[in-house]
Copies of this chain bind each other. A is one copy, B any other.
Amino acid sequence: MAKVDTSLVAHLPLFGGVKPEDLEEILREARSVRYPKNSAIFEQGADAQSFFLLLHGHVRAAKTTPSGEQIVVRYVSPGETFGLAMAIGAARYPATAIAVDDSVALIWPTSAWPRLVERFPSLAANTLQTVGTRLQESHTRILEMSTQQVEQRVAHALLRLAKQSGKKLDHGIEIDFPISRQDIAQMTGTTLHTVSRILSGWEQQGLVESGRQRIILRDPHGIVVLAERSPDSGAA
């Protein structure tokens, strides 16, 4: 098994407060796995046998209702952990993870977690921190869904994606992985039709440039304005 270079991951929040030699020990328990674009990494409801640290690529975590409707829980960027079912004491994954790009992740057996935490308490503290942050973001999302209209929510979603995974271009910011209107709909609690209409509108106004699974924010500031517009302060 290829050895993982500690220098690549030492700076990640997960490993804050972990000594270099300890880090090596931790990494010895992991293996590195490649997931081709559009492949499933794990399925909602499956046995949580592993947990993950994304090295390259992007992963979409989605939750499905009994009747088949989906929402996107989040997009995972390199350096982030996912599939932490064990940390919350769940035996099964609460969501499905799909690689949206060719991706590489470090993967540990779930069974290693208790031992690791015991030996390296910072791991628990660090994970608590990131899970806490996600909880906050989650609450913010609920707040938005409760108080804002669809257009504002889409604006916020795009701005977040741009901040998280934006590639700076001369003429704007491009979201760095394939993402469809459907995906955005599932992030904002609306339908792909509505998202499509909104993006069409924005394209007219020169705010964005978009195509098949591709979005470029041409005027990020303009979108910020939209995002913060109060419900009624409508334009002409």
User: In the complex the two chains form, is B127's CB within 8 Å of A88's CB?
Assistant: no
Chain B CB within 8 A of A138 CB: yes
Interface centre among A127, A129, A133 (most CB of B within 10 A): A129
A209 to chain B, nearest CB (A): 27
Taking CB atoms, residues of chain B closer than 8 Å to A117 are: 121, 125
Q: How far is the CB of A171 from chain B (nearest CB, A)?
A: 31
Number of copies: 2
Chain A interface extent, by class: 35 or more
A147 on interface, CB distance cutoff 8 Å? yes
Tell me the residues in window 91-107 of chain A with beta carbons closer than 8 Å to chain B beta carbons: 94-95
User: Is A34 close to B, CB under 8 A?
Assistant: no
Cβ of A201 to closest chain B Cβ, rounded Å: 22
Query: Which of B139, B141, B147 is close to A94, meaning CB atoms less than 8 Å apart?
Result: B139
Q: State the Cβ distance, A144 to closest chain B Cβ, in Å.
A: 9
Asked if A225 is at the interface of the complex by the 8 Å CB criterion, the answer is no
A94 CA to B142 CA, complexed, in Å: 14
A35-76 contact mask (Cβ, 8 Å, vs B): 1 or 0? 000000000000000000000000000010101010101000
**What B residues does A18 contact at CB under 8 A?**
none
Q: Is A189 an interface residue (CB 8 A)?
A: yes
Q: For residue A71, which residues in chain B have a CB less than 8 angstroms away from its CB?
A: 142-143, 146-147
Binding site for B on A (CB under 8 A): 63, 65, 67, 69, 71, 73, 84, 87-90, 94-95, 117-118, 121, 124-125, 127-129, 131-136, 138-143, 145-147, 186, 189, 230
